[in-house]
């Protein structure tokens, strides 16, 4: 009788343990900027995410996918509100996107508190790679200081001794120029931080840079500000006189408006449209066919974000309530990246190459050409501060 009782008791306990249910569909919340001057970036990211869904038959792990796109208006408080809506009202399984570091930093906590996985497709807030790393946060981009560090290494090899730095006065701008300052072995002869995002007149800063007579000028201005900066750089008579090095100031979105002002400008990116791997060739070819333009690095990161999510859904067979299993699946990153190989560091940020790209003109077309590999298998410097735990 006692043996029967024990067996029965075990059966009851087993029945009381909740089974990991499979999702019937996958719901993704995507936050980016879809209005205002920088909407061109958000739209490019959305186009790439949609293309990835097309490539996978609009299904992940055999399950239908719904994506809810929310516009943050490039405002941290709006981004946070939209993020909370996605979690609390829409009950999404994943949150993805984010262009701006200040918007991401305002929005990350609600996602983490809800134990929802966040796939950052652009914003490179260093805190989330270091002391604020989380089992629920993954990035398919970089930290804000990685690209400028790559530029600095390239400038060091070129023997550049002095530099003047100009950038926007917000989280990403300070971290970006901070990375350049730390990695550059020469002397920083001046640095200016401009009002973001409203200031589009850089004549005063360019005049100061010209007067300092540095070997090079370094800048970081994404979107419309990047267009204005390069055009004013040329108008100030600096083009052809003082070399300009950049990050995120020149891309396929800005080139049609920068044109000749951008030719010869060099910057660092972890991806290029001319990378020779099968996944990238298909991505670039199909993107150009569908949207009639070359994809930007924003688009490439967003495309990878969609495929990363799909890899985790497939690996867990859609049992997304098993948080630990989802974390392990995301960490494995079992998908074909447009970068070629893709692997995560212990802080859930990629270990990746950074390439120097120069703007060239072929006929009437302006494009970025990969001219050198600045750093191979780069790890961000903040990973040592990350004490990663397991999702529960």
Cβ proximity of 347 and 383 under 8 Å: yes
What is the model's pLDDT at position 21?
Answer: 78
What confidence score (pLDDT) does residue 17 get? 42
Q: Which CATH number fits domain 146-269: 3.90.1300.10, 3.30.450.20, 3.40.50.150, 3.40.50.2300?
A: 3.40.50.2300
User: Could you tell me the two tokens for 30?
Assistant: 């995507």
Backbone angles phi, psi at 137, to 5 degrees: -115, 130
Q: In this structure, what DSSP letter does residue 248 have?
A: S
Q: What burial letters (b/e) apply to 75-109, b meaning 16+ CB within 10 Å? A: bbebbbbbbebbbeeeebbbbbbbbbbbbbbbbbe
Residues 254-285: b if buried by 16+ CB within 10 A, e if exposed: bbebbbebbbebbbbbbbbbebeeebbeebbe
What span, in angstroms and rounded, lies between the C-alpha atoms of 63 and 23? 8
Q: Output the CA–CA distances (angstroms, integers) from residue 384 to 126, 134, 379, in the order listed.
A: 12, 14, 10
Yes or no: say if 193 and 168 are a contact pair by the CB < 8 Å rule.
yes
Cα 391 from Cα 276, distance rounded (Å): 36
Dump pLDDT digits (tens) for 226-253. 999 999 999 999 999 999 999 999 999 9
Cα–Cα distances in angstroms (integers) from residue 226 to residues 63, 190, 250, in the given order: 41, 20, 7
Structure tokens at 234: 């040329």
Distance from C-alpha of 385 to C-alpha of 381, rounded to nearest angstrom: 9
Pick out the chain residues at pLDDT < 50: 1-17
Tell me: the pLDDT tens digits for 108-131? 999 999 999 999 999 999 999 999
Q: In the chain, which segments carry CATH 3.40.50.2300?
A: 26-142+276-350, 146-269
Region 26-142+276-350: CATH code: 3.40.50.2300
DSSP 112-176: HHTT-EEEESS---GGGGTTT--TTEEESS--TTHHHHHHHHHHHHTT--EEEEEEESSHHHHHH
Segment holding 94, helix H or strand E: strand 94-97
- Strand pairing class (365-378; 350-362): antiparallel
Q: What is the pLDDT of residue 14?
A: 42
């Amino acid at each position: 009788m006692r043996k029967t009782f024990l067996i029965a008791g075990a059966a009851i306990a087993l029945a009381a343990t909740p089974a990991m249910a499979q999702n019937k569909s996958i719901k993704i919340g995507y936050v980016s900027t879809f209005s205002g001057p920088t909407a061109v970036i958000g739209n490019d990211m959305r186009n790439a995410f949609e293309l990835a869904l097309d490539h996978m038959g609009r299904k992940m792990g055999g399950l239908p996918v719904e994506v809810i796109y929310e516009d943050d208006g490039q405002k941290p408080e709006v981004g946070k509100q939209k993020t909370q809506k996605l979690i609390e009202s829409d009950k999404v399984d994943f949150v993805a996107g984010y262009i701006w570091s200040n918007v991401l930093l305002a929005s990350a906590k609600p996602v983490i508190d809800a134990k929802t996985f966040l796939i950052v497709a652009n914003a490179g807030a260093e805190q989330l790679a270091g002391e604020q790393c989380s089992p629920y946060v993954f990035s398919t981009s970089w930290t804000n200081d990685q690209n400028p560090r790559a530029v600095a290494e390239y400038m060091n090899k070129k023997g550049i001794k002095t530099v003047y730095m100009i950038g926007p006065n917000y989280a990403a701008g300070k971290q970006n120029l901070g990375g350049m300052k730390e990695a550059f072995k020469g002397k920083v002869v001046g640095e200016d931080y401009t009002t973001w995002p409203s200031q589009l007149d850089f004549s005063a800063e360019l005049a100061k840079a010209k007067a300092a007579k540095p070997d090079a000028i370094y800048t970081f201005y994404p979107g419309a500000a990047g267009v204005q900066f390069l055009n004013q750089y040329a108008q100030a008579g600096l083009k052809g006189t003082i070399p300009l090095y950049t990050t995120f100031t020149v891309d396929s979105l800005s080139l049609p408006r920068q044109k000749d002002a951008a030719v010869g400008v060099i910057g660092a990116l972890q991806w290029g449209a001319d990378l020779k791997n099968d996944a990238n060739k298909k991505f670039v070819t199909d993107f150009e066919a569908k949207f009639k333009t070359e994809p930007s690095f924003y688009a490439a990161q967003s495309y990878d974000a969609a495929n990363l999510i799909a890899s985790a859904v497939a690996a867990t067979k859609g049992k997304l309530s098993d948080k630990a299993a989802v974390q392990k699946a995301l960490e494995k990153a079992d998908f074909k990246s447009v970068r070629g190989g893709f692997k995560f560091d212990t802080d859930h940020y990629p270990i990746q190459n950074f390439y120097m790209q120069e703007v060239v003109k072929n006929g009437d077309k302006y494009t970025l050409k990969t001219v050198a590999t600045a750093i191979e298998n780069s790890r961000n410097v903040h990973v040592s501060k990350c004490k990663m735990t397991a999702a529960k």
